[in-house]
A and B are shown apart, each in its own frame.
Chain A
Amino acid sequence: MFAFAVRRITQAIIVMLVIGLLGFSIKQKIGDPVRDIVGVSVSVAERDALREELGLNDPFLAQYVRFIKNAVHGDLGMSFFFKRPTLEVILSKAPATLELVFASSLIIILLSIPLGIYTAINPRNLPSRIIMGGSIVGVSIPVFLTAIILIYIFAVELHWLPSYGRGETVNVWGWESGFLTLDGLKHLILPSIALSSIMLPLFIRLIRSEMMETLETEYVKFAWAKGLSRRRIWFLHAFKNTLLPVITVGGVQLGILIAYTILTETVFQWQGMGFMFLEAVERSDTSLLVAYIIVVGALFVVVNTIVDLIYGLVNPTIRITGRK
């Protein structure tokens, strides 16, 4: 087990170095940050002096080594735009994104399970057909369009909900939360609906097909023959087995959901990491971009490593296969 853990952690470190290298090579292509922090009429000499001061003229490898050295000490550089350490900027934006993802996940879970089960049990009746048809439409409309349509209906025309931003937030132990105020919750409604619109149809369809498959299995047929109540068969025996593959897929989709926050957050001016990322691209705030890639990469690597280690504990075949 010890050897397995060491091997897994070494792999994780290599992956992190590769991510850093990739992020760094993108950085060279994304544009010149100096342009964005000076006025247009500033002379070439002044710009060069600034570039020199920022160390942007050094060779690629020298910059990379310097970056890794600082990164090991927890210093991911200074954001050109925010003029603050990049890590601090990213962490201050994280709560907004996590709350949005959480709210969307909640919507997806609460709606996809009952709707998926309903359409599986009654595959041919009218409401099922409407739900399935609607889910095709939902999956085909791009998320930013859904977002703009929602804003126009509920904010501009009906004046029911606010059109942008997070509203009032409360600071709970350093976590800026919008969950605790009425205003914050109101602001959360439209963005979380927009964000969930992309995943909800997918999950309805997934649950439906898994459920229909399970309903065809032998043990369900046996349960019918045995004369168990319908509810017991559907919700206890069949549903439990439906859920397993759904959870596996759900874990993967969570990462994709975070990717979609970039679009949703931009349209709603939601001050999270996705919005920050897109703005950083536009402003060529390259140090912030690299830090973002490193942080998100690290998050995934750490989670995966822990999962692997736990798997290794639970399922010995995994750690044994690598051994010669």
Chain B
Amino acid sequence: MKKLLVGCLVLLMVLSFGTMAGAKTLKLAMDADPVSLDPHVQLSGGMLQFSHMVFDPLVRWNKSGGFDPRLATKWERLDDLTMRFHLRKGVKFHSGNPFTAKDVEWTVERLKKSPDFKGLFEPFEGVKVFDDYTVDIVTKKPYALLLNMATYIFPMDSKFYTGTDAAGKPKDAIVKIGPSFALTNESGTGKYRVTGREQGLKTVFEEFADYWDKESPGNVDKIILTPIKNDATRVAALLSGDVDFIMPVPPQDYSRIRKNKNSKLITMSGSRIITCQLNSKRRPELANRLVRQAIVYATNNNGIVKKIMKGTASVAGQQAPKGFAGYKENLVPRYNLKKAKALMKEAGYENGFECTMISPNNRYVNDEKIAEAFAGMLSKIKIKVNLKAMPKAQYWDQFDAQVADMQIIGWHPDTEDSANYTEFLLMCPDKETGYGQYNSGNYCNPEVDRLVLASQTETNLAKRSAMLQKVEQILYDDAAYVPFHWQNLSWAGKNKVDIRRIVNVQNFPYFGDLVIK
């Protein structure tokens, strides 16, 4: 008996020594740092990446496009409107407060108040607390994307964020500009606490001792995040060994990192599509379906991916990439110059016409070059394009004002779902409902609107998928827009950093699970 006890003790000591020796620091360089410690202040990739480090969502995406339990351990549909979530027990916030159902309710209420998130949480009626560890999330109508949205519910410590701060302001205030309690204080359930932050300089994350997920293989106990905006400098920082992990990686440096024996590169096809919209209100030519088809047939997007993107993008023939509900195998890119010319002739524009185009020059990867190449391709069907490129700071006002006949836009769906592309880019523009907010082509097809709206309340996923596929088919046949490609996502790190396990197509690296050998 005594021997057994000693044996156990020794084993325990070895194990604890093992974890101590396994403690590692990760030096991370990204192109920007979190704008705030308040996860609800801005809806952006950067803020969601931050949320995954300091907070935990109810569920999160896994690599196969499904959901992994996090703070919710189980979920089941009670009826068309209600989903029941069983919450994890024994979880503590960084402040020491226990995590309960009340925090979920509080967080969803706050999300509905956030200017950035309220749009996404519009379909939600609210949260009903069943008991301390069970909540029912209720939507106003049947809603197919309830679980997608649950990945955005990062419960916050309701006790910690309640009351007033030293300045007499409520602690839960969501302040875009100016100081607030949540800007500089956090209490989440995530693996990392923020222990130091100098905005624009560095953010230090340290492991939270009472973190609930003991099964995670992650062995990084400290992360130092440095924003390095300049692409060349960020790559140099990795190659010189000053940092361990960089994201994103500029495409022009892919081969340099691959050649370097101490570092490795991981890329993945992403879901941000780059497109060009053809304004049918400004130009009668572009309202002609045959002309639009001719333009799509004249677009050698394969060439753009090969020559300009150097293979760092995936050629697109439709909005949503493979794996999304609306993806349809047969909607492939259709470059065919002969056919394009024939269509122009059929439309009665054999001699072409002249039009204008605008493009940002610092928003998407190689955006200006893509627009230039596209304009060159159109000249082959005698459409003379006057292109103007400008920085993103000026671009979006021009885009909204629809100053040009053709306008470049990229889109990544916040919901990680097919319908979102069409809702923003191609549904009939409507100021009241907000649909078609970025539809500068003014494409408007009642059938598309009907199908997309119907898909929102369809909870049978197979039926829903069929609807969205039909939408893609209509858009494809109508040549409603010009698809170019989906941008690839990229990460690079030293060989000892096991990047591949933690990255995903949503671009939310799960740093809590990161292993450094």
Given known pairs A31-B391, A31-B394, A82-B199, the reply for A268 and B178 (CB within 8 Å) is no
On chain B, the residues within 8 Å of A84 by CB distance are 179
B115 touches A42 (CB 8 A): yes
Interface hit among B226-234, B320-328, B474-482, B507-515: B226-234
List residues of chain A with CB within 8 A of the CB of B178: 78, 83
Question: What 0/1 readout, one digit per residue, does chain A (156-175) give for beta carbons within 8 Å of chain B?
Answer: 10010011110000000000
Q: What CA separation (Å) do A83 and B175 show in the bound complex? A: 9
B115 to chain A, nearest CB (A): 5
Q: Say whether, besides A83-B177, A148-B232, A164-B233, A42 and B116 are in contact (CB < 8 Å).
A: yes
- Please name all residues of chain A whose beta carbon is closer than 8 Å to the beta carbon of B161 when the two chains form the complex: none
Interface string of A49-81 (1 = CB under 8 A from B): 110001000000000000000000000001011
Is the Cβ of A41 less than 8 Å from the Cβ of B120? Answer: yes
- Contact residues, B170-189 vs A (CB, 8 A): 175-180, 183
Chain B 107-126 near chain A by CB (<8 Å), digits 1 or 0: 00000000110111000000
Tell me if B35 and A282 are in contact (CB < 8 A): no
- Indicate if A43 sits at the interface (CB-CB under 8 A): yes
Of the listed stretches A5-13, A32-40, A127-135, A295-303, chain B binds A32-40
Q: Give A161 Cβ to nearest chain B Cβ, in Å.
A: 8
Judged by a CB distance under 8 angstroms, whether A155 is at the interface is: yes
- Chain B's nearest CB lies how many Å from the CB of A40? 8
Binding stretch for chain A, among B36-44, B90-98, B498-506: B36-44
Size band of the A side of the interface? 35 or more
Known: A43-B437, A164-B233. A156 touches B239 (CB 8 A): yes
Residues of A within 8 A of B397 (CB): 31-32, 35
Q: Is A44 an interface residue when CB atoms closer than 8 A count as contact?
A: yes
Q: Which of A43, A78, A284 gathers most chain B CB within 10 Å?
A: A43
A-chain residues with CB within 8 Å of residue B437 when the two chains form the complex: 41, 43-44
Judge whether A268 and B116 touch: CB under 8 Å.
no
Task: Please give, as numbers and ranges, the residues of chain B lying within 8 Å of A162 by CB-CB distance.
Answer: 240, 242
Contact with B along A22-37 (1 / 0, CB 8 A): 0000000011100111
Selected contact of A38 from candidates B116, B239, B392, B414, CB within 8 Å: B116
Tell me, in angstroms, the Cα distance from A282 to B120 when the chains sit together: 27
- Report the nearest A residue to B184, measured CB to CB: A83
Give the complex CA separation of A92 and B241 in angstroms.
28
Q: How far is the CB of B324 from chain A (nearest CB, A)?
A: 17
Q: Are B236 and A163 in contact (CB under 8 A)?
A: yes
Rounded to whole angstroms, the CA-CA distance of A164 and B202 in the bound complex is 13
A266 at the interface (CB under 8 A from B): yes
The reply to whether A78 and B177 contact each other, CB–CB distance below 8 Å, is: yes
Q: CB within 8 Å of A: which of B340-373?
A: 362
A163 engages B414 (CB within 8 Å)? no
**One of B175, B179, B242 near A163 (C-beta < 8 A):** B242
Per-residue interface assignment for chain B, residues 392 to 405, with 1 indicating a CB less than 8 Å from any chain A CB and 0 otherwise: 11101100000000
State the majority secondary structure of interface residues on B: loop
CB proximity of B384 to chain A, nearest CB, Å: 29
Q: Which residue of B lies closest to A35 (CB)?
A: B396
Interface residues of A in 122-149 (CB under 8 A from B): 148
Q: Does A121 have its Cβ within 8 Å of any Cβ on chain B? A: no
A282 to B396, CA, bound (A): 13
- Whether the Cβ atoms of B431 and A44 lie closer than 8 Å is yes
Tell me if A271 is interfacial: C-beta within 8 Å of chain B. yes
Indicate with 1 or 0, residue by residue over A257-292, a CB within 8 angstroms of chain B CB atoms: 000000000111101000010010111100000000
Most A C-beta atoms less than 10 A away, residue of B119, B226, B230: B230
Q: How many pairs of residues, A versus B, come closer than 8 Å at their CB atoms?
A: 121
Decide: A165 and B226 in contact? CB cutoff 8 A.
Answer: yes
A120 within 8 A of partner (CB):
no
Q: How far is the CA of A78 from the CA of B42 in the complex (A)?
A: 18
Task: Report the nearest B residue to A282, measured CB to CB.
Answer: B393
Across-interface contacts of A41 in B (CB, < 8 A) = 43, 119-120, 414, 424, 437
Chain A residues within an 8 Å CB radius of B177? 37, 54, 78, 80, 83
Q: Closest CB-CB distance, B247 to chain A, in whole Å?
A: 16
Known A-B contacts A41-B43, A43-B434; the reply to A152 vs B241 at CB < 8 A is: no
B350 to chain A, nearest CB (A): 39
Known: A37-B42, A37-B176, A163-B233. A156 touches B240 (CB 8 A): yes
A218 interface contact, C-beta 8 A: no
A76 CB to nearest B CB, Å: 14
Residue of A31, A39, A78 touching B116 (CB-CB under 8 A): A39
A152 vs B253: C-alpha distance when bound (angstroms): 13
Contact B233 A159 (CB under 8 A): no
B196 within 8 A of A: no
B516 near A: Cβ within 8 Å? no
CB of A206 within 8 Å of the partner chain: no
Interface status of A46 (Cβ within 8 A of chain B): yes
> Does A267 contact B233, Cβ atoms closer than 8 Å?
yes
Residues on A with C-beta less than 8 A from B362 are 282
Bound-complex Cα distance A54 to B199 (A): 22
* Residues from chain A with Cβ under 8 Å of B394 in the complex: 30-31
A165 to B35, CA, bound (A): 19
At the interface, yes or no: B201 with Cβ under 8 Å from chain A?
yes
| In the bound complex, CA of A57 to CA of B233 (Å) | 39
Contacts A38-B115, A163-B236, A267-B232 hold; do A83 and B431 have CB atoms under 8 A apart?
Answer: no
Q: Chain B: which residue is nearest A270 at the CB level? A: B233
Q: Which residue of A lies closest to B240 (CB)?
A: A155
User: Which of B115, B240, B414 sits near A159, CB closer than 8 Å?
Assistant: B240
Give A83 to B226 CA distance when docked, in angstroms: 19
Set of chain A residues within 8 Å of B239, measured between Cβ atoms: 155-156
Q: How far is the CA of A43 from the CA of B118 in the complex (A)?
A: 10
**B466 in contact (CB, < 8 A):** no
Report Cα–Cα, A266/B231, bound state, in Å. Answer: 10
The answer to the question of A151 belonging to the interface, with a C-beta cut-off of 8 Å to chain B, is yes
- Contact pick for A39, options B44, B228, B233, B391, CB 8 Å: B44
Most buried by B among A81, A165, A266: A165
CB of B393 within 8 A of CB of A164, answer no
Q: Which of A38, A54, A82 has the most CB of B within 10 A?
A: A38
Q: How far is the CA of A134 from the CA of B33 in the complex (A)?
A: 41
Indicate whether A43 sits within 8 Å of B393 (C-beta atoms), given known contacts A83-B177, A163-B242.
Answer: no
Docked-complex contact A39 and B43, CB < 8 angstroms: yes
Residues of B within 8 A of A81 (CB): 35
Give Cα A151–Cα B177 distance, bound, in whole angstroms.
Answer: 36
19 A-B contact pairs sorted by A residue (CB < 8 Å): A30-B393, A31-B394, A32-B393, A36-B393, A37-B42, A38-B43, A39-B116, A41-B414, A43-B119, A50-B115, A83-B178, A156-B240, A163-B236, A163-B240, A269-B228, A281-B393, A282-B362, A282-B391, A282-B392
Known contacts A41-B120, A164-B226; 10 additional CB pairs below 8 A are A37-B42, A40-B438, A46-B115, A54-B177, A83-B36, A83-B178, A83-B179, A151-B233, A266-B230, A281-B393
- B binding-site residues for A, Cβ under 8 Å: 35-36, 42-44, 115-116, 118-120, 175-180, 183, 199-201, 226, 228-230, 232-233, 236-237, 239-242, 362, 391-394, 396-397, 414, 424, 431, 434, 437-438
Interface residues of A (CB under 8 A from B): 30-32, 35-46, 49-50, 54, 78, 80-84, 148, 151-152, 155-156, 159, 162-165, 266-269, 271, 276, 279, 281-284
